[in-house]
Amino acid sequence: MSTTPLSPTDRTTLHRNRTRARTERSALYEILDDGLICHLGVVVDGSPRVIPTGYGRIDDTLYVHGSTGAASLRAAPSQEICVTVTHLDGIVLARSLFHHSVNYRSAVVYGVPRTVTDPDEKLAGLRAVTERLAPGQWKTARRPTPKEMAATSVLALSLEEASVKMRQGGPLDDDEDYALDVWAGVLPVHRTFGEPVPDPRLRPGIPVPPHIADRA
């Protein structure tokens, strides 16, 4: 895994709010490894298209997958794509509306993806995508058949060019506004998992495995 800092290309260098930029590669990994879905941006007929989809990471490669019939994936291998992962961590409530903000962590990755054709890498990429959404399932559920593998596209995107932004902490108000009788602070936002809901067709006697029941 690379320990070089994140890329300093123009579009990944933040021109505003510099204090919110992070350039350690570890910050990128942490954000990607804490997400469940990404938003994949492609250009179709000159216009942007933004689609939510699953993803996974292995070292310095990000994998996304989809049906071989998906238009967004068909368009992707020949051109640049953008993959964004965002965590909304809190609503920042200031004394002035102008200084309302959000606490968040986001990673934006740019690059020309390649369609994964090597069978071993394709399986590894699919595993990474599956384990991001459903850790522990790769060892539990039925593995893909050759026919299922053929129906699935896996794209690989290098994490070479990426930017990381985050905001943490309370509101920053204008000096004179601290005298106002307005509550200020942060309302945290969390992602939580509920109680597992068994499939109505679940065979009797199969308990919820700990990797699902205890997920936090």
Q: Segment near its own copies (CB under 8 A), from 20-28, 56-64, 113-121, 171-179?
A: 171-179
Q: Segment near its own copies (CB under 8 A), from 21-29, 56-64, 114-122, 194-202?
A: 194-202
Assign residue 37 a region (left: φ > 0; alpha: ψ between -120 and 50; beta: otherwise). Answer: beta
CB of 67 to its own copies, least distance (A): 6
- Told to check if 32 binds its own copies by CB under 8 A, we report no
Asked if 173 and 99 touch (Cβ cutoff 8 Å), the reply is yes
CB of 117 to its own copies, least distance (A): 19
Q: With the CA atoms of 20, 60, 7 and 170 taken in that order, what torsion angle do they form, in degrees rounded to the nearest 10?
A: 0
Residues pairing with 124 in the sheet = none
CB of 206 to its own copies, least distance (A): 5
Q: Segment near its own copies (CB under 8 A), from 24-32, 55-63, 113-121, 174-182?
A: 174-182
What residues have CB less than 8 Å from 211, skipping those under 6 apart? 135, 136, 137, 140
Which pair of tokens denotes residue 193? 């998992």
Helix (H) or strand (E) holding 101: strand 101-111
- Told to check if 118 binds its own copies by CB under 8 A, we report no
CB of 21 to its own copies, least distance (A): 14
Among 18, 192, 204, 216, the residue binding its own copies under the rule CB under 8 A is: 192
